[in-house]
C-alpha cells in the first residue's frame, strides 16, 4: 500500500502505522453490516449535470512563472531523475 | 502440429483538434517553446480544478456516430491513479465504466468503446540515447499535457498484420474526414497500440495477450505485429506459455523487448472524478454532432456508384482514400466539353495519376489540377488524343502543371486527323518490318509489337493503339 | 476613541463607510495584534503562518477564477475589513502551505476564487492562518508549523482543521476569518473557541484555489464573532465560478439576518446525534439552548437519522480516498519540497513524500489507497458511497417533518493538547455530529450556546440545501436570546 502511494515508511513507523490503520479499519468495516442492496452510490452530491466549458483560449502562464517554484530546472523544463522501466 | 491464428485488437489514441486543452483554456501547442502553454490546471498546481471542454465532447460524439456506436445518455469521468513525471496530478482524468460511446463498427472491425481523456506531458531525456533506459535525467515539458484525446478500442476482430494496418488507414481516413484530428502518426496526433494473442485455429477462447506499444508508422505496426505473432508462435510451439506483458518493438533491429510485466500492472484505483459533473448528452448535443458529420467513406462509395455509375471497386477505392475521392469530385465539377466519363476519370486518377506521384502523395497537392486531368480524360475519351499521347501529356502535367489542350497543341500530340495519314504510316511500317509482318500473318499475334512501335514512333504516340492494330491487321488481310 | 476590538466586522465596515474609522487604521490595529502573536516565539497562540506587512500584500489581480477582482485595496462593501485566511487558500505571491512541510514557502501564481471574491468586495488580507496539515485533523495538532492554542485555555486545542482561523477570531487577532469544512473543520473549531462558523451548501462557494483535501466534501466558509458577520461574508462568496465545474449559482441572495423569534419553526432533534457519546456538560448546554428556542416560539421534536451512526465510517473511507488521489501531485517535480540527493525517480518520490508529509496525512493516504484498491473498492469505497446516499435520504425525510435540525456541534469541549493524539479513532470521533451534514452536502452553522467548565459549547443548526437564509435567521434569533459573550477570550 505504501508503494502504491509512493510513501516510504521507515522501520520504526511501520508497526505503529499498521496498528493504527488496523484499528481504524475495524471501525469503518462496520458499514459492512448495513443492508445496502439496490442503493445507488452518490459520486456527486450536486445534482446538476454538464458544466462544460466553451472551447475558448485563456492566457497561459509565462514560462518563468510556471517554472518559478520548481525544485530543479534545465533547458526550460522541469528536471527530474529519469524513470527506469 | 497445431496451427495458430492471431487475434489482434487495437487501441488508438487520437489527439483532438480543439482550440484548447481538455480541462483548461490553454491553447494547444504545435512545437511551441517548452512550458509556454501551461496554467495552474494543466500543471497540476495545488488548488487547481478541471473543467471539461465542450468541443472535445462534441468531437467525441461525432467519432461515435461515424463508428456507429451507441452514445451514452450520461457519461462520467474517472481518475486513473499512478505516478510518473509526465502526469502532473498523479492521476489522469479519463473514463472508466461510463464512457462516451460503446460498441459500433468500422468496416470489418467492431468497436468496443470510445472515450475521452487528457494527454500526458512530454518527457525529454537528457543524454544522447534519447530512450528511457540508461540516461540520468529527464526534462518535462507540460505543453502537451492536457491535450484532449479520444481513445478508440476495438474488439479483437483482426486476424493479420496487413489487415490491421489497412483497417487503421481506413480509421485514419474517417477521422480526418470528420475534421476532428490531424491524425498524423509522425506528429503524434494518431497513436496505436496493438493487443496480440494466438489461439489454435478453430477454437474460440482467447489466448494470453500482450500489448505492443510505441509504433509510430503503419509499416512499423505491420512489422511489429508480425514479429510478435512469430515470437508467440515460437513459444507456443515449443510448449511454453505466453506471459501477459507490455512490449516494445524496435523497428531498426526488429527486436521485441519487455517494457513492463502486466502482472505487476498498476492498480489504477479508478474512482469517479469528484471535480467534474456527469455529462448529460442531450438532444441538442446529438443534433449538433449529427449535422457536423461529413459524408463518411461507406456512404460516399455508395454515392459514387449511384450517381457517377462507378463500379464497386473504383467507388470504394476513391471513397476510402479521401484525397482521391476529393480529387475525383473536384475534377468532375470542373469538367468542360468534351466531358470525361466518370469511370474513365476514376481509372486515370487511381492508375495513371497516382502511379506518377510519390507513394501516398495527395493528388490534390500535385501540379495536375483536377480541371486539367478532367480535360485530358475528356480529350482521350473523345479520341482527340490517343491514350499513349495522353500519358505523355500527363507526364508533362505532373512535372509542370498547365493546360492539356495547350500541351497537346504545343507538342503536336493531337490524334491523327486523317485515317489516310495513319494508313500510309502503317503501310510504311509493314514495309519496314517485313519479318514481323510475316510472323503476324502466320498467326503470331505478339509479333505485332515492333510494327506498332514503328507507327507510334512515327506518329509521336498520337495514334490510337487500337486503331493502329486494326489497320495493321486490315492491311495484312487478317 | 472607537473601541476597535469591540467592533464586529459588519460594524467596522459600517464605521469605515461612515468615516468614523480609517481602513488603514483598522488594518494596522489587527496587523499589530497578529504580528505580536506570531513574534511571541512560543508565547503566543500560533494562529498565523504568515502576517502581512501592509494592505498592499492583499492579492488583488483577478486570476483565472472569480472575475470580481482587480479592485482597489479596501474598496467595496467589505470596505477594508482585514481578513484572516486559512493557509490552504492559494494567495498569489503569499505562502500557501496547507499546514504542511511539503509546501513550505510555496507561493502560488494565482489566488483562490473565494479569496478574490472577498478582496474584490474590499476585504484586506491580514494573515494566513494555521491549520491541521492538508486539513486533516480536529485539533490543529497536525500542523507542521506547531499547534495553535485555544485562547480560552492555552493548554487546550482550538479544534481543527481551521484552528488558526477560529483562535484568531476568538482572540481578536482578526475580526473575521476564512476557513474550510470537510467533515466539521469550520464548525468544530468554532464551537471549541466560542465563535460562529458556517459550512454552506456544497457547491455554493468556488473551490478553485483551495488546496484540496476531499473534493466532494470541501467547502469554504466564514468564522466570525457573530451570525451577522457570517452572513455578510457568505453573501460575497457565493456564486458560480467558471473555474469550478462543481460550483453553482446560489438560487437567491444571502440576506443579513434580522429574526428575533422562532415562531413556527420546527426544530428536529436526532436521537442518534444527541445522546450517547456527548459529554455531560455539553448535553446540558444543548438542552438549555433548546429550552430557549422553545421560549422563542420554536417547536422541538425528535427526528430519526438512522444511518447517522455510520456516517463517520463512510466519511473516513470517502475523504481519505479522495485525499490519497488529491495528494498524489505532491511529488517534488514541479513545486514544493523535493528530497535532496535522490538516487532515482522512485527514491525521489518516496523520500520527498516521507519527509514532507506528517503521520496523520500518511495514515489517511494509505487508508484511502486501500479503500480504492482493486478487490477492496466495493467493500469500502463503493459501500461508503451508498451509505452517503442513505444519509442524504435520511435528511430529506427528516426535513419533510421539520425545518431545521439541531445538535451539539462537538461531543466535547476543547480537550487538552496531546490528549487524543495517540488514538486516531478517538480523534475522529470529534466529528461525529458534523460529518453527516458534510456527506449530505447540506448547510450547517455552529453558534456558541454556553459554557461547560468554563469552556465554550457549540450548538449546530442544519437545514436543507440552499436554506442558508432561514438558517442564518434562526441562528441570529437564538444568538440574541442566548447572549453568549466571547469578549473574555479577546483580552
Q: What does the pLDDT read at residue C69?
A: 47
- Confidence label for C169 from pLDDT (cuts 50, 70 and 90): very high
Structural domain containing residue C258: 4-262+405-490
pLDDT at B131 exceeding the cut of 80: no
Q: What is the grid cell recorded at C368?
A: 484511502
- Subunits that touch chain C (at least 3 Cβ pairs < 8 angstroms)? A, B
Q: Which stretch of B58-67, B444-453, C430-439, C446-455 has the lowest confidence by average pLDDT?
A: B444-453
Is C86 designated active site? yes
Q: Mean pLDDT, chain C, as a whole number?
A: 93
Q: Which stretch of B262-271, C125-134, C207-216, C295-304 has the lowest confidence by average pLDDT?
A: B262-271
Q: How many CA atoms are closer than 13 Å to the CA of C465, on its beta-carbon side?
A: 17
> Does B44 contact C245 at a Cβ distance shorter than 8 Å?
no
pLDDT at C344 exceeding the cut of 90: no
- Confidence label for B335 from pLDDT (cuts 50, 70 and 90): confident
Comparing C237 with B359, the larger pLDDT belongs to C237
pLDDT at C225 exceeding the cut of 70: yes
Q: What does the pLDDT read at residue C72?
A: 58
Distance, CA of C351 to CA of C340 (rounded, Å): 9
pLDDT at C226 exceeding the cut of 90: yes
Helix, strand, or coil here: C5?
helix
A21 touches chain B (CB under 8 A): no
Q: Which residue in the set B25, B47, B85 is minimally distant from C108, CB to CB?
A: B47
> Does A28 contact C357 at a Cβ distance shorter than 8 Å?
no
- Confidence label for C74 from pLDDT (cuts 50, 70 and 90): low
pLDDT tens by residue, C424-458: 888 899 999 999 999 999 999 999 999 999 999 99
Asked if residue C327 belongs to a domain, the reply is no
- Confidence label for B418 from pLDDT (cuts 50, 70 and 90): low
pLDDT at C125 exceeding the cut of 80: yes
Q: Which of B19, B26, B35 to mutate to test the interface with A (most CBs of A within 10 A)?
A: B35
Among C8, C86, C143, C467, which one carries the catalytic annotation?
C86
Chain A residues with CB under 8 Å of C386 CB are: 36, 39-42
- Subunits that touch chain B (at least 3 Cβ pairs < 8 angstroms)? A, C
Q: What does the pLDDT read at residue A83?
A: 77
Give the minimum alpha-carbon distance from B50 to chain C in angstroms, rounded to a whole number.
7
For the CA atoms of B186, B191, B197, B201, what is the dihedral angle to 10 degrees? -70
Average pLDDT over residues B315-320: 88
Q: Which residues pair with B75 in a beta bridge?
A: B279
Average pLDDT over residues B3-31: 95
> Does C208 contact B46 at a Cβ distance shorter than 8 Å?
no
Distance between start and end Cα atoms, chain A: 20
Question: Count of CB atoms within 10 A of residue B423's CB?
Answer: 14
Q: How far is CA B74 from CA B49, B178, C159, in A?
A: 21, 23, 41
Average pLDDT over residues C302-308: 96
Q: According to the per-residue pLDDT averaged within each range, which of A74-83, B202-211, B247-256, B411-420 is highest?
A: B202-211
pTM passes above 0.80: yes
Q: What does the pLDDT read at residue C73?
A: 58
Asked if residue C297 belongs to a domain, the reply is no
Chain A residues with CB under 8 Å of C334 CB are: 69-70, 78
Residues 49-78 of C with CB under 8 A from B: 64
pLDDT tens by residue, B227-282: 999 999 999 999 999 988 889 888 888 888 887 654 445 789 999 999 999 999 99
Q: What does the pLDDT read at residue B260?
A: 63
Q: What is the ipTM of this complex?
A: 0.94
Distance, CA of C170 to CA of C487 (rounded, Å): 8
Question: Count of CB atoms within 10 A of residue C411's CB?
Answer: 19
Nearest of B284, B282, B287, B219 to residue B254 by alpha carbon: B219
Give the minimum alpha-carbon distance from B85 to chain A in angstroms, rounded to a whole number.
8
pLDDT tens by residue, C137-154: 999 999 999 999 999 999
Nearest of B141, B153, B98 to residue B276 by alpha carbon: B98
Chain B residues with CB under 8 Å of A42 CB are: none
Give the minimum alpha-carbon distance from B266 to chain C in angstroms, rounded to a whole number.
10
Domains of chain C: total: 1
Number of B:C CB contacts under 8 A? 106
Asked if residue C157 belongs to a domain, the reply is yes
Average pLDDT over residues C261-273: 97
Q: Which residues pair with C299 in a beta bridge?
A: C266
Q: Which residue in the set B24, B260, B274 is minimally distant from A44, CB to CB?
A: B274
Q: What does the pLDDT read at residue C357?
A: 94
Query: CA B142, B144, B148, B154 torsion: positive or negative?
Result: negative
- Confidence label for B358 from pLDDT (cuts 50, 70 and 90): confident
Asked if residue C313 belongs to a domain, the reply is no
- Whether the CB-CB separation of C142 and C360 falls below 8 Å is answered with yes
Q: According to the per-residue pLDDT averaged within each range, which of B45-49, B308-312, C38-42, C120-124 is highest?
A: B45-49
Q: How far is CA C421 from CA C138, C185, C362, C426, in A?
A: 10, 17, 15, 8
Q: Which residues contact C78 (CB under 8 A, 6 or more apart)?
A: C9, C13, C118, C121, C122, C123, C232, C233, C236
Asked if residue C375 belongs to a domain, the reply is no
Average pLDDT over residues B298-303: 86
Average pLDDT over residues B197-211: 92
Q: What does the pLDDT read at residue B5?
A: 94
Q: What is the DSSP string of B264-305?
A: G------EE-TTSPPEE--HHHHHHHHHH----HHHHHHHHH
Distance, CA of C294 to CA of C265 (rounded, Å): 10
Among C139, C185, C410, C467, which one carries the catalytic annotation?
C185
Q: What does the pLDDT read at residue A50?
A: 66
Q: Mean pLDDT, chain B, as a whole number?
A: 89
C110 touches chain B (CB under 8 A): yes
A27 touches chain B (CB under 8 A): no
Asked if residue C233 belongs to a domain, the reply is yes
Q: Which residues pair with C85 in a beta bridge?
A: C128, C178
Q: Which residues contact C340 (CB under 8 A, 6 or more apart)?
A: none
> Does C325 contact B269 at a Cβ distance shorter than 8 Å?
yes
3-class SS string, B306-336 = HHHCCCHHHHHHHHHCHHHHHHHHHHHHCCC
Give the minimum alpha-carbon distance from C436 to chain A in angstroms, rounded to a whole number.
13
Residue segments in chain A with a per-residue pLDDT below the cut of 50: 85
> Does B272 contact A57 at a Cβ distance shorter than 8 Å?
no
Q: What does the pLDDT read at residue C155?
A: 97
User: Where are the extended beta strands (E) located within C75-145?
Assistant: 82-86, 124-129
Asked if residue C378 belongs to a domain, the reply is no
Q: What does the pLDDT read at residue A16?
A: 77
**C161: preceding bond cis by omega (within 30 degrees):** yes
Asked if residue C19 belongs to a domain, the reply is yes
Q: What does the pLDDT read at residue B67?
A: 95
- Whether the CB-CB separation of C314 and C388 falls below 8 Å is answered with yes
Q: What does the pLDDT read at residue B130?
A: 41
Burial class (CB in 10 A: 0-12, 13-18, 19+), B7: buried
CATH number of the domain to which C145 belongs: 3.90.1300.10
> Does A25 contact C344 at a Cβ distance shorter than 8 Å?
no
Q: Which of A5, A25, A82 to mutate to test the interface with C (most CBs of C within 10 A)?
A: A5
Local structure of residue C454 (DSSP, 8 states) = T
- Confidence label for B145 from pLDDT (cuts 50, 70 and 90): very high
Amino acid at each position: 500500500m505504501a508503494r502504491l502511494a509512493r510513501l516510504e515508511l521507515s522501520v520504526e513507523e511501520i508497526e505503529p502505522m499498521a496498528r493504527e490503520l488496523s484499528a481504524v479499519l475495524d471501525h469503518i468495516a462496520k458499514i459492512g453490516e448495513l443492508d445496502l442492496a439496490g442503493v445507488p452510490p452518490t459520486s456527486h452530491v450536486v445534482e446538476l449535470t454538464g458544466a462544460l466549458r466553451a472551447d475558448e483560449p485563456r492566457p497561459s502562464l509565462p514560462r518563468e512563472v510556471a517554472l518559478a517554484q520548481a525544485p530543479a530546472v534545465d533547458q526550460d523544463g522541469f528536471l527530474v531523475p529519469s524513470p527506469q522501466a | 502440429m497445431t496451427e495458430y491464428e492471431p487475434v489482434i485488437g487495437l487501441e488508438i489514441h487520437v489527439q483532438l483538434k480543439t482550440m484548447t486543452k481538455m480541462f483548461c483554456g490553454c491553447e494547444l501547442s504545435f512545437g511551441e517553446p517548452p512550458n509556454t502553454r501551461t496554467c495552474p490546471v494543466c500543471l497540476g498546481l495545488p488548488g487547481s480544478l478541471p473543467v471539461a471542454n465542450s468541443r472535445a465532447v462534441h468531437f467525441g460524439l461525432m467519432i461515435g456516430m461515424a463508428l456507429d456506436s451507441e452514445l451514452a445518455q450520461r457519461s462520467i469521468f474517472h481518475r486513473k491513479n499512478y505516478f510518473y513525471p509526465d502526469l502532473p496530478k498523479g492521476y489522469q482524468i479519463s473514463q472508466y465504466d461510463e464512457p462516451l460511446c460503446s460498441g459500433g463498427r468500422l468496416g470489418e472491425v467492431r468497436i468496443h468503446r470510445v472515450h475521452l481523456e487528457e494527454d500526458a506531458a512530454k518527457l525529454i531525456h537528457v543524454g544522447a540515447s534519447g530512450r528511457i533506459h540508461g540516461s540520468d535525467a529527464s526534462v518535462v515539458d507540460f505543453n502537451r499535457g492536457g491535450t484532449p484525446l479520444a481513445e478508440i478500442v476495438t474488439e479483437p476482430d483482426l486476424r493479420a498484420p496487413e489487415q490491421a494496418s489497412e483497417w487503421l488507414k481506413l480509421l485514419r481516413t474517417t477521422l480526418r474526414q470528420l475534421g476532428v484530428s490531424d491524425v498524423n502518426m509522425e506528429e503524434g496526433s494518431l497513436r496505436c497500440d496493438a493487443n496480440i494473442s494466438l489461439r489454435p485455429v478453430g477454437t474460440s477462447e482467447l489466448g494470453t495477450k500482450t500489448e505492443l506499444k510505441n509504433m509510430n508508422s503503419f509499416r512499423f505496426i505491420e512489422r511489429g505485429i508480425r514479429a510478435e505473432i512469430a515470437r508467440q508462435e515460437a513459444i507456443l510451439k515449443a510448449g511454453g506459455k505466453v506471459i501477459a506483458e507490455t512490449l516494445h518493438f524496435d523497428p531498426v533491429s526488429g527486436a521485441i523487448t519487455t517494457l513492463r510485466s502486466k502482472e505487476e500492472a498498476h492498480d489504477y484505483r479508478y474512482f469517479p472524478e469528484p471535480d467534474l459533473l456527469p455529462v448529460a448528452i442531450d438532444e441538442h448535443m446529438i443534433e449538433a454532432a449529427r449535422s457536423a458529420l461529413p459524408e463518411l467513406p461507406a456512404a460516399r462509395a455508395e454515392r459514387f456508384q449511384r450517381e457517377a455509375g462507378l463500379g464497386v471497386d473504383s467507388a470504394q477505392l476513391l471513397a476510402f482514400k479521401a484525397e482521391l475521392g476529393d480529387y475525383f469530385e473536384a475534377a468532375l465539377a470542373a469538367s468542360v466539353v468534351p466531358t470525361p466519363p466518370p469511370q474513365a476519370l476514376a481509372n486515370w486518377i487511381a492508375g495513371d495519376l497516382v502511379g506518377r506521384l510519390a507513394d501516398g502523395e495527395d493528388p490534390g497537392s500535385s501540379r495536375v489540377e483536377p480541371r486539367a486531368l478532367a480535360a485530358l480524360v475528356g480529350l482521350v475519351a473523345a479520341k482527340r488524343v490517343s491514350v499513349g499521347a495522353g500519358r505523355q501529356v500527363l507526364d508533362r502535367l505532373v512535372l509542370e502543371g498547365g493546360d492539356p489542350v495547350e500541351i497537346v497543341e504545343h507538342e503536336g500530340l493531337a490524334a491523327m486527323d486523317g485515317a489516310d495519314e495513319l494508313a500510309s504510316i502503317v503501310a510504311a511500317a509493314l514495309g519496314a518490318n517485313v519479318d514481323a509482318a510475316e510472323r503476324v500473318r502466320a498467326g503470331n499475334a505478339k509479333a505485332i509489337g515492333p510494327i506498332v512501335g514503328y507507327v507510334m514512333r512515327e506518329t509521336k504516340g498520337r495514334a490510337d493503339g487500337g486503331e493502329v492494330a486494326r489497320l495493321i491487321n486490315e492491311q495484312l488481310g487478317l | 476613541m472607537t473601541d476597535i476590538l469591540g467592533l464586529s466586522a459588519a460594524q467596522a465596515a459600517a464605521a469605515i463607510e461612515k468615516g468614523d474609522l480609517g481602513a488603514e487604521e483598522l488594518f494596522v490595529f489587527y496587523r499589530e495584534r497578529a504580528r505580536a502573536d506570531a513574534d511571541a516565539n512560543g508565547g503566543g497562540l500560533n494562529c498565523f503562518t504568515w502576517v502581512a506587512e501592509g494592505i498592499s500584500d492583499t492579492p488583488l489581480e483577478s486570476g483565472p477564477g472569480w472575475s470580481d477582482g482587480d479592485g482597489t485595496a479596501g474598496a467595496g462593501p467589505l470596505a477594508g475589513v482585514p481578513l484572516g485566511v486559512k493557509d490552504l487558500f492559494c494567495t498569489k505571491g503569499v505562502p500557501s502551505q496547507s499546514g504542511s512541510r511539503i509546501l513550505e514557502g510555496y507561493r502560488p501564481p494565482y489566488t483562490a476564487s473565494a479569496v478574490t471574491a472577498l478582496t474584490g468586495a474590499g476585504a484586506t488580507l491580514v494573515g494566513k492562518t494555521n491549520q491541521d496539515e492538508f486539513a486533516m485533523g480536529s485539533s490543529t495538532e497536525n500542523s507542521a508549523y506547531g499547534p495553535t492554542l485555544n485562547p480560552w485555555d492555552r493548554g487546550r486545542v482550538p479544534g481543527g482543521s481551521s484552528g488558526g482561523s477560529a483562535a484568531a477570531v476568538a482572540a481578536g487577532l482578526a475580526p473575521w476569518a476564512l476557513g474550510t469544512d470537510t467533515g466539521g473543520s469550520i464548525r468544530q473549531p468554532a464551537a471549541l473557541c466560542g465563535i460562529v462558523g458556517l459550512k454552506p451548501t456544497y457547491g455554493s462557494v468556488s473551490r478553485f484555489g483551495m488546496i484540496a483535501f476531499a473534493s466532494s466534501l470541501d467547502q469554504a466558509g466564514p468564522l466570525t464573532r457573530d451570525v451577522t458577520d457570517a452572513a455578510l461574508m457568505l453573501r460575497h462568496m457565493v456564486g458560480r465560478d467558471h473555474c469550478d465545474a462543481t460550483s453553482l449559482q446560489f438560487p437567491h441572495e444571502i440576506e443579513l439576518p434580522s429574526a428575533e423569534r422562532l415562531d413556527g419553526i420546527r426544530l428536529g432533534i436526532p436521537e442518534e446525534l444527541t445522546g450517547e457519546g456527548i459529554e455531560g456538560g455539553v448535553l446540558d448546554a444543548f438542552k438549555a439552548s433548546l429550552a430557549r428556542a422553545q421560549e422563542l416560539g420554536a417547536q422541538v421534536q425528535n427526528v430519526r437519522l438512522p444511518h447517522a451512526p455510520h456516517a463517520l465510517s463512510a466519511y473516513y473511507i470517502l475523504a481519505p480516498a479522495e485525499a490519497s488521489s488529491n495528494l498524489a501531485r505532491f511529488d517534488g517535480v514541479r513545486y514544493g519540497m523535493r528530497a535532496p540527493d535522490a538516487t532515482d525517480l522512485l527514491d525521489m518520490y518516496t523520500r520527498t513524500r516521507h519527509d514532507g508529509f506528517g503521520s496523520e496525512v500518511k495514515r489517511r493516504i494509505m487508508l484511502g489507497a486501500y479503500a480504492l484498491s482493486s478487490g477492496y473498492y466495493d467493500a469500502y469505497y463503493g459501500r461508503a458511497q451508498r451509505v452517503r446516499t442513505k444519509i442524504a435520504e435520511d435528511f430529506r425525510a427528516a426535513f419533510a417533518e421539520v425545518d431545521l435540525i439541531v445538535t451539539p456541534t462537538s461531543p466535547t469541549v476543547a480537550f487538552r493538547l496531546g490528549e487524543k493524539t495517540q488514538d486516531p479513532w478517538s480523534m475522529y470521533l470529534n466529528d461525529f455530529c458534523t460529518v453527516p451534514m458534510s456527506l449530505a452536502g447540506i448547510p450547517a452553522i455552529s453558534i456558541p450556546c454556553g459554557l461547560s467548565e468554563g469552556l465554550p459549547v457549540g450548538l449546530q443548526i442544519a437545514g436543507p440545501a440552499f436554506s442558508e437564509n432561514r438558517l442564518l435567521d434562526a441562528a441570529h434569533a437564538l444568538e440574541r436570546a442566548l447572549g453568549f459573550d466571547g469578549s473574555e477570550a479577546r483580552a
